[in-house]
Amino acid sequence: MRKSLFLLVVVALVLGSMIPAAVSAQEPQYTISMLTGTMDNPYWITVSDWAKVAAEMLNVNLVTLAVDVEGVATQQISQMEDRIAQGDDAICVAVQDTKAMIPAIEQANEAGIPVIGVDKGAEGGKLESLIMTDNVVAAYDGGKWVAEQIGGKGKVLVLEGMPGGQTATDRKTGALNALAEYPDIEVISLPADWQTAKAQAVTEDTLTANPDLAGIFCSNDMMAIGAVTALAAAGLDIPVCGFDAVAPALEMVADGRLGATVAQFPGKMGFLGVEYAVKVLEGEAVPETVNSGSLLVTRDNVLAFQAGLYGQ
């Protein structure tokens, strides 16, 4: 039985060796697709890149497809229907809408094509495995950090993701759970749809109405970048926590422009998604759910994180 390869690859990277080359020059034994969010978000690039590492090692023909707009399912539904028609052996999908994607997943189920959930699942249809962060727990850590930075009192803006999505709901819930532990914190919670420009605009409007704003929790790093931009333009320096630990955000943590970000491990998700798809195709058991972990990254540990000591 093939053991998990992801830890082996991470260790190799930390030790400075090359990623192992393909194990065989033979024709790929399977075609597997990886459907993700937008490619203007480094998070999804990491998912895709590590899925490609797994595909190379496991002799898989990997088809990667991204959506143009984060959180909108229409394009992803079409992509999935096309991959089913193409006869893929398995499909890995970062679900863009937990309800809207149900029929497409069920269509794959009916066609006998295994589906692996990566980062986001759905409210129906069968997933062989779901590999994701516990977003409630992870966002709680970020919200707690903001609360501690402001001494447990003041106004905190929570920038939410696209309303209605499970990830957005869970991260909002986690942050609000943490902030609710401080009776002297007043929460202003508003959606910015995962987008940098919208987050900047929402932050600017919030500052106009609340010039005494004390801190900000952002449900992803792209929104955190927008919030920091708005604060810089206003000449303000207040604690901001992002979520995802994408490279630009880590650079901002390292130089002090961003206070913290909650790291996920998207490389692990992408790699395990492909590996588990192969295992299912070969009749091996895989776990129904995998918590891929999270880590609060601040200036104290950002260099170690960037160096890969915590994984990807």
Mean local confidence (pLDDT), 56-61? 97
Q: What dihedral do alpha carbons 58, 63, 68, 69 form, nearest 10°?
A: -50
Is there a contact between 141 and 296 (Cβ–Cβ < 8 Å)?
yes
Q: What is the mean pLDDT of the chain?
A: 92
Same structural domain for residues 153 and 127? Answer: no
Whole-number pLDDT of residue 60: 98
Whole-number CA gyration radius for the chain:
20
- Answer yes or no: is 201 within a domain: yes
* Amino acid sitting at position 130: L
Phi, psi of 168 (to 5 degrees): -60, -45
Same structural domain for residues 103 and 149? Answer: no
pLDDT tens across 110-137, in order?
Answer: 999 999 999 989 999 999 999 999 999 9
Same structural domain for residues 139 and 104? Answer: no
- pLDDT of residue 9 exceeding 70, the answer is no
Mean local confidence (pLDDT), 200-228? 98
Task: Provide the terminal-to-terminal Cα distance of the chain, rounded to the nearest Å.
Answer: 25
pTM score, whole prediction: 0.79
Looking at the chain, the number of H-run helices and the number of E-run strands are: 11, 12
Tell me the percentage of the chain whose pLDDT exceeds 70: 92
- Answer yes or no: is 302 within a domain: no
Is there a contact between 102 and 122 (Cβ–Cβ < 8 Å)?
yes
For the ranges 37-41, 70-74, 255-259, 273-277, which has the lowest average pLDDT? Answer: 70-74
Whole-number pLDDT of residue 70: 86
Same structural domain for residues 248 and 273? Answer: no
Residue 139 burial (CB count, 10 A):
28
Tell me the percentage of the chain whose pLDDT exceeds 90: 85
Highest mean pLDDT among 22-26, 72-76, 308-312: 72-76
Structural domains of the chain, count = 2
Nearest-angstrom CA–CA distance, 47 and 6: 13
Query: Where does the pLDDT of residue 16 fall: very low under 50, low under 70, confident under 90, or very high at 90 and above?
Result: very low
Same structural domain for residues 151 and 257? Answer: yes
Q: Name the residue range of residue 281's domain.
A: 6-133+265-293
DSSP string across 17-43: PPPPPPS--SPPSEEEEEEES-TTSHH
Residue 44 CB contacts under 8 Å (≥ 6 apart), including other chains: 36, 37, 38, 66, 94, 266
Nearest-angstrom CA–CA distance, 268 and 46: 9
- Answer yes or no: is 11 within a domain: yes
pLDDT tens across 262-292, in order?
Answer: 999 999 999 999 999 999 999 999 999 999 9
Same structural domain for residues 173 and 238? Answer: yes
Is there a contact between 305 and 298 (Cβ–Cβ < 8 Å)?
no
- Answer yes or no: is 306 within a domain: no
Whole-number pLDDT of residue 301: 97
Is there a contact between 213 and 190 (Cβ–Cβ < 8 Å)?
no
| Tokens matching residue 258 | 């961003």
CA distances from 69 to 36, 49, 193, 269 (A): 11, 20, 10, 21
Is there a contact between 61 and 28 (Cβ–Cβ < 8 Å)?
yes
Of the candidates 182, 160, 181, the one whose C-alpha atom is nearest the C-alpha of residue 172 is: 160
Same structural domain for residues 227 and 273? Answer: no
Same structural domain for residues 14 and 120? Answer: yes
Is there a contact between 213 and 155 (Cβ–Cβ < 8 Å)?
yes
Whole-number pLDDT of residue 27: 85
- pLDDT of residue 12 exceeding 80, the answer is no
| Tokens matching residue 232 | 């810089």
Is there a contact between 227 and 199 (Cβ–Cβ < 8 Å)?
yes
pLDDT tens across 173-207, in order?
Answer: 999 999 999 999 999 999 999 999 999 999 999 99
